[in-house]
């Protein structure tokens, strides 16, 4: 796994190693990340320069770190797994992104109120097939985590319907994964 674009292009991220079977880590492949970012930039015209990123079910943090490499100014990572957070911290150090990131040990489906500026880009990569993505989006929306018009990139094992308060923009299939692109409705 590596950063595929931007200022940190080519940076090798921490290996998963034997890992923890209970962690259920499933990092987004380099190829899929490249396709997602190409779509964000070229088809959906999502400006990454200055974006504030929220990476829910962050795992290794590859999606959020990729956004930082491409011009985002901040990324908050949320994951409640110890193995994932350890890998995430290693990757943040490798990228020297300590001052522009936060890591929260928190259940993404129960975020609570946001105590800072809202986020313009959200990556959502929950464990597949458990309905956690919709619950996490509802929690982020209720807690004030999402800026009006925020872009959402949601990876699952099946195409997802746009929940209330969101507009479907696009859906793509990459092997076993489906990526749904949503836009939060304006306030």
Pairing between β-strand 166-174 and β-strand 177-184 as defined by DSSP bridges = antiparallel
Please determine, looking at this structure, whether the domain spanning 27-184 carries the CATH number 3.40.950.10.
no
Tokens of 143: 């807690």
Q: pLDDT at position 24, please?
A: 58
Q: Who's near 76: CB < 8 A, 6+ residues apart?
A: 53, 54, 55, 101, 102, 103, 104, 119
Residues of the chain with pLDDT under 50: 18-23
Domain ranges of the chain: 27-184
Tokens of 12: 């090798």
Helix axes 62-69, 82-95, angle to 10 degrees: 20
pTM of the shown model = 0.93
């Amino acid at each position: 796994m590596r950063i595929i674009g931007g200022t940190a292009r080519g940076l090798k991220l921490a290996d998963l190693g034997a890992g923890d079977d209970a962690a259920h880590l499933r990092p987004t492949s380099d190829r899929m990340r490249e396709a997602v970012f190409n779509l964000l930039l070229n088809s959906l015209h999502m400006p990454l320069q200055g974006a504030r990123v929220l990476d829910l079910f962050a795992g290794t943090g590859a999606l959020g770190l990729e956004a930082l490499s491409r011009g985002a100014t901040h990324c908050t990572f949320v994951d409640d797994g110890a193995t994932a957070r350890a890998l995430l911290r290693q990757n943040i150090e490798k990228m020297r992104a300590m001052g522009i990131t936060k890591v929260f040990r928190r259940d993404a489906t129960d975020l609570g109120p946001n105590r800072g500026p809202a986020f313009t880009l959200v990556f959502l990569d929950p464990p597949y097939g458990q309905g956690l993505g919709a619950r996490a989006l509802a929690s982020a929306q209720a807690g004030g985590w999402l800026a009006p018009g925020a872009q959402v990139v949601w990876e699952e094992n099946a195409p997802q319907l746009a929940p209330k308060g969101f507009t479907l923009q696009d859906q793509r299939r990459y092997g076993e994964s489906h990526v749904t692109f949503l836009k939060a409705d304006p306030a």
